[in-house]
Amino acid sequence: MTTYDFVICGGGIIGLSVARELVLRGHKNILIFEKEPELGKHASGRNSGVLHAGIYYDPGTLKARMCFEGNRLMHDYCQERTLPLFESGKVIVARDESELPTLEELERRATANGATVHMIDERQLAEVEPNAKTVGKALHSPLTTVVDPKAVLESLREELQDAGVKFQFETTFLSAGDGFVITDQGDIGHGLFINAAGAHSDKVAHAFGMGRKYMLIPFKGIYKTLKRPAADMIKGSIYPVPNIKNPFLGVHFTRSVYGDVYLGPTAIPAFGRENYGIFRGIDSEFLSILFRDAQMFFANSKFRGVALEEPRKYIAKYFFEDARKLVKALNPTDIESSPKAGIRPQLVNVATKELVMDFTIERGRTSLHVLNSISPAFTSSMSFARMLVDEYMDI
Ligand SMILES: Cc1cc2nc3c(=O)[nH]c(=O)nc-3n(C[C@H](O)[C@H](O)[C@H](O)COP(=O)(O)OP(=O)(O)OC[C@H]3O[C@@H](n4cnc5c(N)ncnc54)[C@H](O)[C@@H]3O)c2cc1C
């Protein structure tokens, strides 16, 4: 059995960023093992690629602490390595007057978090984003940026391999021993084991007797794209005022680094942790996920709201109606389906049935577990990795 000082389970943005931070601090004996044959098969390769600017998050939370700095670190990383980067900016628009108090709350949160935002009127909005529609005012975030998530993963992989970090693909975590883990490719010894298994991180933590009070439930994000010339009328990103009591931001327009304009993602309760298609990715866990969703449906009004609202967006008419509220001009024929889909694993407290809103970390004797790497974890990853090393590793 080979033993490493640090064994990281999961080659998503969290696993790679933690490995990079360890390398930057002089550590070398690191293994990342990943169940897929390549990087980017799950959340880190399937997201919107938006570097959020730190607007939404309650001051004092880890998200608020990590997002602003993470945005800057990832932005600089992409610039230094000449990776695709589009300084798109973003506007958050109000669909009716009742959303204005939340818009003001977002401005307050953003300012408290150190983010740069400007409350603008309809005339100014027309200058920034001519096709965006709002009621009275909108929030403009000039520092929201878009990257190519897969290009970031690939660049990190190259950098880490050059620094001597070992990668082992097609290797699935099965269970935990004392100072070693059991995988389908054999046992691996570790000093510190770091669980960065994304949508499976609760199961990995449970194998160590950690994270017992949590489980993850999957939400599916489907996207559509805009055809030209409608796509040419979207300059950057247009987001609605979200319901800040739940962790999802609502269907929005995002112009990618390559100029395509995406609409989405939805947040539809999914029937598998990798249920990217209608039936694809549904496995033996289907019944227990259905049972958990049913429990949540009856116990949690926020979940119930999402579960009743979001699945309608499978129907083109409802998806269109949602998008139409954010812009002045859009026709149903401007929208076409897209194969892009992602799963957002959301942590739930089993006892209270509450959705956990912040990143969650648990440290065991020889293991560290990242349990709720929800958005904006891609944006925050490099800052998050710094914090993990500083505050959770005795090195
Ligand atoms: C649709 C969508 C849109 C999003 N948009 C944004 C955005 O615009 N901006 C932003 O900041 N964030 C966004 N996010 C969130 C962001 O993508 C995630 O927070 C982030 O990618 C999580 O990274 P991760 O490394 O924890 O998880 P993952 O990327 O899922 O990586 C975990 C890895 O662990 C591996 N793994 C799992 N189980 C095992 C096992 N048993 N053994 C071995 N390996 C295992 C998986 O194969 C996977 O590669 C979005 C997410 C989604 C789904």
* pLDDT tens track for 325-361: 999 999 999 999 999 999 999 999 999 999 999 999 9
Q: Does the C-beta of 342 come closer than 6 Å to ligand 1?
A: yes
Residue 58 lies in a domain: yes
Q: How far is CA 290 from the centre of its chain?
A: 23
Residue 106 lies in a domain: no
Q: Does the C-beta of 265 come closer than 6 Å to ligand 1?
A: yes
Q: Does the C-beta of 376 come closer than 6 Å to ligand 1?
A: yes
- Widest Cα–Cα separation across the chain: 66
Is the predicted pLDDT of residue 200 greater than 90, yes or no?
A: yes
Residue 346 lies in a domain: no
- Which of 104-108, 166-170, 173-177, 292-296 shows the lowest mean pLDDT across its residues? 292-296
For 14, the token pair is 């969290």
For 352, the token pair is 């209270």
Position 246 confidence tier, pLDDT thresholds 50, 70, 90: confident
Closest CA to 239 of 262, 210, 206, 270: 262
pLDDT at 315: 86
- Full domain range(s) for residue 52: 1-86+145-213+357-395
Closest CA to 131 of 326, 305, 387, 353: 326
Q: How far is the CA of 329 from the centre of ligand 1 (A)?
A: 34
Q: Does the C-beta of 47 come closer than 6 Å to ligand 1?
A: yes
pLDDT tens-digit map of 215-231: 999 999 999 999 999 99
Specify the higher pLDDT residue, 191 or 311.
191
| Long-range CB contacts (within 8 A, 24+) of 305-313 | 305/243, 305/246, 306/219, 306/246, 306/248, 306/267, 306/269, 307/269, 310/219, 310/266, 310/267, 310/268, 310/269, 311/268, 311/269, 313/222, 313/251, 313/266, 313/268
Strand 30-33, strand 166-168: pairing: parallel
Q: Does the C-beta of 340 come closer than 6 Å to ligand 1?
A: no
List the CATH number of the domain containing 391.
3.50.50.60
Q: Does the C-beta of 35 come closer than 6 Å to ligand 1?
A: yes
Give residues with Cβ within 8 angstroms of 368, minimum separation 6: 192, 193, 194, 195, 361, 362, 388, 392, 393
Q: How far is the CA of 264 from the centre of ligand 1 (A)?
A: 17
Q: What is the mean pLDDT of the chain?
A: 94
Q: Rounded to an integer, what distance in angstroms lies between the CA atom of residue 315 and that of residue 331?
A: 15
The residue whose CB lies within 8 Å of the most ligand 1 atoms, and thus the one to mutate among 41, 42, 144, 239, is 42
Total tally of structural domains belonging to the chain: 1
Q: Rounded to an integer, what distance in angstroms lies between the CA atom of residue 10 and that of residue 16?
A: 8
Ligand 1 atom having least distance to the Cα of 376: 11
Q: For the purposes of burial, counting CB atoms within 10 Å of the CB of 293, is it exposed (0-12), middle (13-18) or buried (19 or more)?
A: middle
Residue 113 lies in a domain: no
Q: How far is the CA of 135 from the centre of ligand 1 (A)?
A: 35
Q: Rounded to an integer, what distance in angstroms lies between the CA atom of residue 335 and that of residue 130?
A: 19
Closest CA to 215 of 42, 47, 351: 351
Residue 317 lies in a domain: no
For 157, the token pair is 């992989």
Residue 303 lies in a domain: no
Q: Does the C-beta of 44 come closer than 6 Å to ligand 1?
A: yes
Specify the higher pLDDT residue, 14 or 316.
14
pLDDT at 64: 93
The residue whose CB lies within 8 Å of the most ligand 1 atoms, and thus the one to mutate among 17, 69, 74, 200, is 200
